[in-house]
Amino acid sequence: MLFKSVLCVAAATGSAWAAPAATESQAACNANLPIDNFAGFANKTNSLGAVTGDDKTMGAISVTGTTLSLTAKAGSYFYENLPCQDLAAPSGYNALSVKLGGPAQSSLLLEVQTKTSCNATAHESTYHNVTVPATAGVVSIPLSDFTGAKLAITTSLTFSTFNKTGVYTLSDLEFVCGK
């Protein structure tokens, strides 16, 4: 698959795919966890202080207020690194929520990358196809839809494989606390 080859090359070249620092186990959530409000986009960081970007694969990328606009083309992707986030069932997080918009009848692939430890270099990827709403709206993706993913050590989210070229918008990206 071409997409996996691109990711492997990006990881091998030492781009923004560095392993996150180890974190301690966390108690069950008591509120949603913001991943990115895009306020730090100019610094290529998300709300969790981790690296975010597109490795210059998009036709264009910009932020207006708290909305990220991506002009997808063939081979485009956008990633959100995470600081070794525990999303396993005991954490209380049960979904990923994002306000999403894009071309009519479009979809994209959302990848969750996990590792066996925070310092591991190898990762496993699990994918979920996301249908983009006809009018920009909130999409909630249950974490259980990432069948087989070992969510105790989640290190990255990647939006890719856009089925249509054009402008996609993302805002209010967060993990939902299902307490």
Domains contained in the chain, CATH given: 29-177 (2.60.120.430)
Cα–Cα dist 41/154, whole Å: 21
- Output the pLDDT for position 26: 57
Q: Which of 7-16, 68-77, 152-161 has the lowest mean pLDDT?
A: 7-16
Is 127 in contact with 157 (CB distance < 8 Å)?
Answer: no
Cα–Cα dist 164/32, whole Å: 31
Nearest to 26 by CA among 93, 79, 75: 93
**Per-chain mean pLDDT for the chain:** 87
Q: Exposed (0-12), middle (13-18) or buried (19+): which is 4, by Cβ within 10 Å?
A: exposed
- Cα angle at 176 between 67 and 136, to 5 degrees? 35
- Output the pLDDT for position 16: 41
Regarding pTM above 0.85, the answer is no
pLDDT, one tens digit per residue, over 80-121 is: 999 999 999 899 999 999 999 999 999 999 999 999 999 999
